Amino acid sequence: MALQSQMLQERRPMTVVSLAIKFNAACFELGKLQHPGVDVDSSLQIKQQLLLAAMDEFDSHCTTLNRTYMLSSLQRDAVFHLVLHSSPTFLRSIQGLLDTVPEKTNPWKLKVLQTKRWILGGQSSKVTVQDQLTVWAQVLQMNQVKQCLLAEIVNFEVRRALRSGRSKSLTLEEFMELCDYSCWVGHCLSNPPLDDPKMLASVRSRCIEGEYLAQFRMQIALKSPEWTAEQFPWPGMDPSTSTAVMNNDIESLNEQQQECQFKADVLGLNTDCCRICKHLSEVESNTKAKQVAQASWVRGQIHQGRVQVVEPFMQSNCMVKAGETIASLSHWWGKFSQNAAAVSGTCLKVFYCDCHKFARMSDDAMNSMFEMLQQFASSDPKSSAAIILVTTVASKKRLTGDRAERARLEMRAENKGFVPVLTSLKMNEGPLHGNDSRQVCYDVYVLLPEAAGEDSLFASSYLVRRRATMRDAQWLPPSDYALQTTPQPGAPTTAANLSLEKRAMNLLAGQDVPAVLFDSLLHTSDGAPKPLLTKRSDVVILLNWTPYEGGPETACLRANLQGPSAWKCCSLTLDTESGKMCEARLARSLLLDWKTGNHQLMPKPQLVFEAELPQHEVEKFRGTEISGLTIMKMNGALPEIPAEVRRKWSSDPVYATEWIAELKKCDELLTSPEALRAGGSSEPAAAVAAAADGVAGGGSLPDDWVPKPKESLKNITHTCTSDIENLSLHIVQSEGDENPTIYLEANEDMTVPTNKPVFKVGASDWFKPPKSTRLLANEAERSLYLFEVRSDLVKVVVEVPGNPNLEPASIRDVLHEAEASGVIDLSLWGHTCARPGGAAMTGGEVDHFVIAPIAADGEESAVKWVFRPKPIEMQNARASNLLNVLPKKAIMDSPRVLVTWTITIDEAQAMMVPKKPEIFLRENVPLGKGQVVRVV
C-alpha cells in the first residue's frame, strides 16, 4: 500500500512552484544552447522568450501523454510571475515549505500566486494617490530583500499554525497583510540605526515571528508622512525617539484603526458601485447602438443583394412575368429566348403546363395555352416540345371525367398542329395511406410539332419512347403547400381548410415532379439512358405557363448548376396573383441562397453577404474597460462583491448592521433594471405605455386569485382537460352570477407556463364593415374582439405549418427576425408599420416600429374588422373552445390572462394577417398537486 501510495503521489501533477523551479532551470539550459556567453538573468526579454519556449514544449508533450498536465492560462501567468519576477532564493524557500507541510495547509496556492502584490515591484492596495508623494510608496513596494523576508514570514506562520493544531491555510486577506508587513520590516532592517550584528539578527528573528505586527498595524493605519525607519521599536533606544503614537493607549488606537478601516471600506464600496453603474450604463448604451447598427447593416446588405444580385439574375435566368394579353407575354418571351439562345451549342425549348393550376380548366384557358404554345414552337419546331399535365379535376360539363379531358386535349392539340404522346407520371407510394384519395399515376402529354416530323430532337426521348418517367416522383408535403389566398383575417391557412380546387393546385406542385419529367424528356431511351445534351455550351430554355409555387423554376435552377448543360427559365401567366406569388417566393429563395452562401440555386456571385459589421464599425462601440475598483470586482460582464468582502464586517459587533445595510443597498442598485439603464428607459414613451397596458400591474393579487386547495371550490358546473399536460379546467358558476369563473387545477406539482395557451377559441366568424360597425354599436354583443394594434411590443403567435408549439413573441421581434431572413418589407394587415426617422441609425433609442391602424379613403377612423366566437352551451365546453363560453369583459378584466392573436404570414403580399385570438397566462403560476388557481 505504501508503494502504491508513493506511485500515485509521483503521478500527480507538480505544483506551480515546482514547475516554476523546473522551468527556471530549463531557461538556463536553453540559454546555454541558444545564447552562449549571455547571462540569462541579466536580460528579461531573453529569459521571457526562453520561458515561453520551455512551456510550449512542455504542453506539446502533455497533449500526447496526458492532457491533465497541460498548463492552464492561470498557471502560465503564475509561472511567469515566479520565474521572471522573483529571486531564486525566494523560489527555494517556498519549495522547502511545500516539501514539509500538507497540501491543504500550503499557502502558495494558485489564487495567491495570481496576485501581483508579492512580485518584484508589487505595490500595496493601501497606498493611495496621496501616499504616492510620501515615503510610504517606497516602504510598501516589494523588492528582492523584502520578497525573501516574506517567504520566511509566511513559512513561519504556516508552521506555527500546524504546531497549534490549525489545519486551514492562510486567507488571501491575511496573506496580503503579511506582504505589507514584510515590506515594512524589510525597509526598517535595510536602514537600521544599530551596529551590533547580533542585535540585528535578534530583531530580524523577532520580525519573522510576527512580534511587531501590532506596531505595524498602528503605523500603517496612520501612515504619517514624517515617518522614518528610526520610529521602528528598536531595542535599547530612547522611547522619546519613537513617534507619539507609540505612547498612546493601544486599545484606543486599535479602535481608531478599525473605524478608519471601516469607513475606508464603505467609501470604497460605494465608489466602486458608482463606477460599475456608470460602466454598465455605457456598456448597455454601446450594446444597443451596436445592435441597431448591426440590424441596419444587415438590412443594407439584403437590399444590396436583392438589387445587385437577385433581380439581375432573375431577369436573365428565371424571369417571371404576368400580363393581360398573349401579345404582351409573347413580347417578353421573344426577348428572353433571343438572349438565352445566344450560345454556340444546341438549344432545346421546353413548354411546361400543369393543368392542375387551373383546377377545372376552361375552354378559354386551354385556347390561351395553345395560342402561346403555337408561338413558342413556330420559330424552331425541331427543337421544341411541350409537357402538359392533365388535370384530375374534370369540368362539371363533362360527365365522362378524365377521359373527356384527355380527348379534349388531344383534339385541340391535333387541330393546332401538334402530335400528342400520352405518357404516365408515377408518384412515390410510400406516403400514401388507406384513406388517401390521391392517385399513384397521372396522365402527362408530350406535344411535338407536326412540322418537325421525324427530325424532332425529342424523338428518341425516354419520356416519348417508353412513355414513362425514369423514376418515381416525390410528393410535396402538405406543410409546404402554397396557399394563394387574399390576405384578410380568417383566410384558410392549412391544406385541410382548402377547397378541392385549391388542393388540386398543390397536388403535383414542388420541384421534384418537373425535375423527373425534365430528366426523362432530356434522356435517350436506347439502352442505358444518356443525356441529349452533353456540353456546357448547350442550353435548355423552359417556358413555364403555370407559375405558382416556384417548383419548375427551382428545378430548372438546380439543373443549371448540376447538369451537363445550361438551363434558362421564363415563367409567363395571365393570372396576376399567381405570377406575383411565384415571383415573390422565387426571389426569397434566391435571396436566402445568396445570404446563406449555399449557392444551390445560382452560381456564387461577386457580391458576398457579410453578416458581421466591419471591424472599423465595431470599434466605435467597443467602449472602455472599467478600472480603479478597490473593493468589488467584475466577474466577466457582471459585477460581484467578493465573499471575503461580505464577511469582513458582517460579524463585527459594532459595524455589522451598517455594513449589511450597505451591502444590501449595493446589491439592489446593481441588480435593478433602472440602474442598468442609468438615466431612464430608452424605449419610446408610447411603446412603454402601450406595453404597460398589456401586462399585469404590480402589487399582490386579491385572495380570490391566489392558489388554494381544490376542496375550497364550490358550485363546479363543468370540468374538462387542458391542452397543457397534467392540468384540468373547472367552470364555476353560482346562482345569481352573471358570468362563470375559470379555475386551473394541477394534477401534479407543476408550473403553468406562459408559452402555451391555457384555452382557445372554437367556431367563430370575422366581420368586416358595414356589419362590423353595426355589431360594435350593439351593446348587447358580449364577445367581440377588435384587431387593433398600437405598439410593436404587443405579443403575437406566428402560425407555422407543421410546428404548432410556438411561443408568443412581440411584433418587433417578428419583424426583426423577418428582416434577418431576407424579408425587409413585412407589413401588418390593416395597419401602417414603419420605423420612425433615425430609429435604425442612432444608438439613442431602440430599433422599433411605429404601428397604427389604417383609415379608409375619406374616413377619419380605421377600417374595423371584428372577430366573434359562436356561442356554445357550457356542457360542450372544452379547452379548445372555452373562449366561446366567456364574455370578452371577463377575459379583459382578468389579472391572470392575456389575449394573444395568432397570425399567419402571407408570403405573396409580405403581410402578417390575424387569424384568431388565444388566451395565455401573463406570468408562470406554480401549483402543487390538487391546488387550483383562478384565471378568469
**Could you report the per-residue pLDDT of 748-796, keeping only the tens digit for each?**
888 888 888 888 888 888 888 888 888 888 878 888 888 888 888 888 8
CA angle at residue 927 from 924 to 928, to 5 degrees? 155
Q: What is the average per-residue pLDDT within 527-552?
A: 89
Beta bridge partners of 897: 921
796 or 294, which is more confident: 796
Q: Concatenate the DSSP letters of all residues of 510-531 into one string.
A: SSHHHHHHHHHHTBB-SSS--B
Place of cell 404590480: 698
Q: Concatenate the DSSP letters of all residues of 455-466 into one string.
A: G-TTTTBHHHHS
103 or 260, which is more confident: 260
Evaluate if residue 580 carries a pLDDT over 50: yes
Query: pLDDT, tens digit, for every residue of 714-747?
Result: 888 888 888 888 888 888 887 767 778 888 888 8
Place of cell 394587415: 829
End-to-end CA distance of the chain: 72
614 prior amide bond cis, ω within 30: no
Evaluate if residue 37 carries a pLDDT over 60: yes
Evaluate if residue 840 carries a pLDDT over 70: no
| Dihedral pair phi/psi, residue 910, rounded to 5° | 50, 60
Evaluate if residue 686 carries a pLDDT over 60: no
At 701, the pLDDT band (50, 70, 90 cuts) reads: low
pLDDT reported for residue 802: 58
Sign of the Cα torsion 191, 195, 197, 201 reads negative
Mean pLDDT of the chain: 80
DSSP letter at 429?
A: S
pLDDT reported for residue 822: 61
Residue 82 corresponds to which amino acid? L
pLDDT reported for residue 13: 62
500 or 686, which is more confident: 500
485 or 107, which is more confident: 107
Report the relative pairing of strands 911-921 and 897-906 from DSSP bridges.
antiparallel
| Dihedral pair phi/psi, residue 908, rounded to 5° | -65, -40
324-333, 428-437, 612-621, 682-691: which range is least confident on average? 682-691
pLDDT reported for residue 685: 33
Cell of 911: 403581410
Evaluate if residue 564 carries a pLDDT over 80: yes
Q: What is the average per-residue pLDDT within 803-830?
A: 76
- Report how far residue 801's alpha carbon sits from residue 495's, in angstroms, rounded to the nearest whole number: 10
pLDDT reported for residue 27: 79
At 691, the pLDDT band (50, 70, 90 cuts) reads: very low
Q: What is the average per-residue pLDDT within 193-221?
A: 84
Evaluate if residue 907 carries a pLDDT over 90: no
Give the count of alpha carbons within 13 A of 350, CB side only. Answer: 27
Which of 115-129, 463-477, 602-616 is modeled with the greatest confidence? 463-477
Cell of 834: 414603419
At 292, the pLDDT band (50, 70, 90 cuts) reads: confident
Place of cell 505544483: 15
Q: What is the average per-residue pLDDT within 875-885?
A: 83
pLDDT reported for residue 643: 85
364-373, 730-739, 925-934: which range is least confident on average? 730-739
At 516, the pLDDT band (50, 70, 90 cuts) reads: very high
Alpha helices by DSSP H, listed for 306-401, are 311-317, 326-340, 363-378
| Dihedral pair phi/psi, residue 894, rounded to 5° | -75, 130
pLDDT reported for residue 681: 34
